[in-house]
Amino acid sequence: MKKYLLLVAVFGLSLSALAQQISKKFRLPAEVTASDYIHGKAVIKLNQANSSAILNDGSVTDAKLAKVLGDHSATAARKFPHAKPPGDQTRSGHKFVDLTRIYEITYSSNASLETFLNSLLATGIIEYAEPHYLPRLSYQPNDPSGTASGQWHLNKIKAFLGWDISKGDTSVVIGITDTGTETNHPDLKSNVKINYAEPIDGIDNDNDGYIDNRTGYDVAMNDNNAQWQGNPHGVHVSGLAAAATDNATGIAGVGFKCKFLPVKIADASGALTQAYEGIVYAADHGCKVINCSWGGPGAGQLGQDVIDYATINMDALVIAASGNDGQELDFYPASYDKVISVSSTNQIDTKSSFSNFGYKVDVCAPGSSVYSTYNGTSYSSQSGTSMASPVAAGAAGIIRSQFPGYSALQAGQHLKVTCDNIYTLSGNNAYMNKLGTGRISLQKAVTTTNAKSVELDSKTSTDNNDNAFVINDTIRFRCMYTNYLAALTNLTVTLTSTSTYVTVLDGTTTIGAMATMASSNNNADPFTVKINSNAPQNAVVVFKVTFTDGAYTESRYFSETLNVDYINIDINDVATSITSKGKIGYNQDAQLQGLGFTYLGGATQLYEAGLMIGTSSAAVSDVVRGSGAAGDTDFQSSNVVSKTLPSIESDFDVSGAFSDVPASPTQNLKIMHKAFAWTSAGDRKYVIVEYKIANTGTSSQSNLYAGIFSDWDLLDYAHNKAGYDATEKLGYVFSTDSSLYMGVKVLTQSAPALCYSIDNVTGGSGGVDISGGYTTAQKYTTLSTSRANAGGTGVGNDVCQTVSSGPFTIAAGDTATVAFAILAGDDLNDIKGSAQAAQIKYDGLQPTSVKQVLAENQVVLVPNPVNDGNGQLFMTLASSSEVCVEMIDLTGKQLFVLDRLQLTSGTTAVDLPIAGLASGIYLVKVTTNGMSSIYKLSVN
């Protein structure tokens, strides 16, 4: 079964008490559209410490949450009103899930979904807030080639041979969460699980919270009528899993004697409004297998909580359709951890054209034109992973009957390891290892009595450095394994990859003997993998983990993104990520890829930050949020950001280059950027970033401003204020709930410093209003004008800030330099002290000879670092001069000299003959007017 691996960079820092209070922001995933969730609805889960903030009757005891709900005309109701607190119970090493803290919120304000969810998260008492996702059915329209001539899928999965061994047991119930069933179908009604403790008398006789739920339940309409509405999809699904068999009527369900419990999750139109509630109902009412022939791209923690509850708390195996997009993509609930994801195959055992595929698929089952029960008393052939899933669910019911001692997780593993291999078929060549372990075989499932199955439960990855995996890094993979089935005598685990972008240095570890349900790891003997020099930027590399114990062998797969275009800086009290394209903290929107900005090992306090450069209200190049839902992408990397080894100017030197070629309009800018961090006392609370902005166009750029936009979220982001200290040129944001401060300071002296504080609320509170998007004109306003404060009176609100410098006039071929410190502090005096320390450090980065020469002349090495053998020195002279350029290695050996170069005034490019140089740090000595300056050049 899949094990969802959350790949966490390991830094050895524990979360501080402060970090526990950090609230998050929600951003709707790009793949989710308005049709994928219910408008006016949201789902929240209260933190453990605040579980009494909403009482059972829906009244709210927490003042902050009550205010948010009141502001949005919202009410709260328990999502699972019949759930009981689980305490500290565990099963198979997994802690039970608490559903009592999950609530459905209904609101009627005009606020956007994201605004409402973020208002909820801002209370600081909520574990998660997310949409009420609306999944869709996973079937294709009627296949006209389907006939009633027989159920070909039964022969394909060797059902008849399997039934010779086991026909299942009526005590095993398969939950069908769907649009409902045909309650009077002659091939279904006799196989519905009867709740004998609940006669139809208008009374909740069994005290389960439901009245007259004798033959299933409609959780969407909250009644005891499981008859289908809107779409007979559930009728077809019911028959495939558990139609009455050996009754001389119609068809045979794969589950044979296993009963089924119809759980209607759809409203009268057929919309699946209560999908995950249906899983909980089925689990609570004794289903050992639960089928979900539905799903969608929307995923949140609620879905995983429900799956964990069903699997761990209630020992029910969840089986789900992988989706019908014909693509390799995530589809939920199938892609959740602990779910058996089922793809579809056709009559020749190749992947159905419509079926999704991928490394998260667990098994395949017949799903193309399969024959089953339909509306009224009819039968029909239907196609889809919706059909494949109940075929697999029926087989799982037989497994749970044949092996009653198996847990849900063990039954899922047994289904996987007893599949038939279909990868030898030419039609499946394109989907190698992406159709799970093969097509299910009921015969193998019931006759294999000593099956072995090991899972890769979790994994951590580290390079013992910054955990941003780039060329020449060595990654160490430490994994946790669980043996779910028969005992092992001498397990070995091997890591391999067919990618030429990596070299596996140590790919084997010996685990040895493992008892059933035992867990082990290779922490003491991690796999080691080197990233090769040919790895392209952001290369996704697939790794294969093979388990071997005697004749048993089985493989699992995971992927890792390598040679990433960002660097993590985590050597002092603050930690952040510097990217190759001007973003700070995160490499992608929605807080993906990166550390954000943390202080003292806590959670990130930064939602978004990045460089902005503008020359007018119509021309701003940046990579922060835009006027639409997605962020702007005006910068592209020309030299991937990398760490300089050894660091020379600080304890952690970073450099790279990018341009604004993608911008519309482009300003013809090339930016050479560096970052610096120190470990010394007094210098541990900031990181410095420096940008050398080159005008590569043919005309002068005037009125140019460069600055850093930042959206800080300190603790409860709705309780933030922003201010500016003109003396220190420091823009800062602080939390009114504590003394925590963070901000940005201008370090360069070549142009005035500015700070524009933004109230990130509807209307903008008198400043620019970016609540509906951050336009180019607004960006230039915040770059070129000042607004010292934001947050208003009282506790404050959500705030952003742009700290900038300008105006600059940059002639064609010329450059301007602007630098900033990004800081944190325990109070205002503390952050001001760090700002002063950062200024001293930055001033000290410039050698005396450089200061003397650059008063009139300027030298820039482009690119730096250089990795293709082509480099240039751009020198700007106030008047014509004779120049000497020398290249020296770190031993002092002169590698070449360009002597007596006659350069005219202005900017001249000098080619540096560096092809063939080994990777390393070199010194470029430039002499003019009797003065010499030395510059460092990194060669990769």
Residues with a known catalytic role: 178, 233, 386
Q: CB within 8 A of 619, min separation 6: which ones?
A: 663, 665, 667, 776, 780
Give the ranges where 785-927 is alpha helix by DSSP (H): 828-844, 848-854
Give CA–CA dist 79/97, Å, rounded: 14
Tokens read off for 318: 């969840």
3-state secondary structure of 520: strand
CA R_g for the chain: 32
Side by side, the strands of the sheet bearing 259-264 are 217-218, 259-264, 173-178, 289-292, 317-321, 339-345, 363-366
- Residue 313 sits at φ, ψ, to 5 deg, of -65, -45
Distance CA 80, CA 88 (A): 19
Alpha-carbon distance values, 654 to 62, 343, 636 (Å)? 46, 46, 17
H/E element holding 396? helix 385-402
- For residue 170 the two structure tokens come to 């009526």
Number of H helices, E strands in the chain: 13, 50
CA–chain centroid gap for 352, Å, is 29
Cα→Cα distances 716→115, 469, 604, 814, 842, Å:
14, 32, 12, 44, 33
What lies within 8 Å, CB to CB, of 314 at 6+ separation is 283, 284
What is the rounded CA–CA span in Å between residue 449 and residue 603? 48
How many angstroms separate the CA atoms of 381 and 376, rounded? 15
Residues 6+ apart with CB under 8 A from 141: none
Q: Does residue 8 contact residue 460 with C-beta atoms inside 8 Å?
A: yes
Cα(544)–Cα(508) distance, integer angstroms: 12
- CA angle 351/458/445 to nearest 5° reads 45
Whole-number Å distance between alpha carbons of 77 and 54: 9
Instruction: Provide the residue type at 884 as one letter.
Output: C
Residue 832 CA to residue 745 CA, distance in Å, equals: 9
What tokens were used for 767? 């400043």
CA-CA distance, 341 to 392, in Å (whole number)? Answer: 10
DSSP classification of residue 517: T
Distance of CA 391 to the CA centre of its chain: 32
515 C-beta neighbours (distance < 10 Å), count: 10
Packing angle, helices 301-308 and 275-284, rounded to 10 = 10
Q: b/e per residue, 590-599, with b = 16+ CB within 10 A? A: bbebbbbbbb
Residue 807's H or E segment, with its range, is strand 799-810
Q: Are strands 894-903 and 90-91 parallel, antiparallel or unpaired?
A: unpaired
Distance CA 166, CA 417 (A): 18
Residue 507: strand, helix, or coil: coil
Which residue, 932, 937, 877, is CA-closest to 912? 937
Give, rounded to a whole angstrom, the gap between the first and last alpha carbons of the chain.
Answer: 42
Cα–Cα dist 19/22, whole Å: 5
Distances in Å between the Cα of 831 and the Cα atoms of 149, 296, 821 are 79, 46, 11
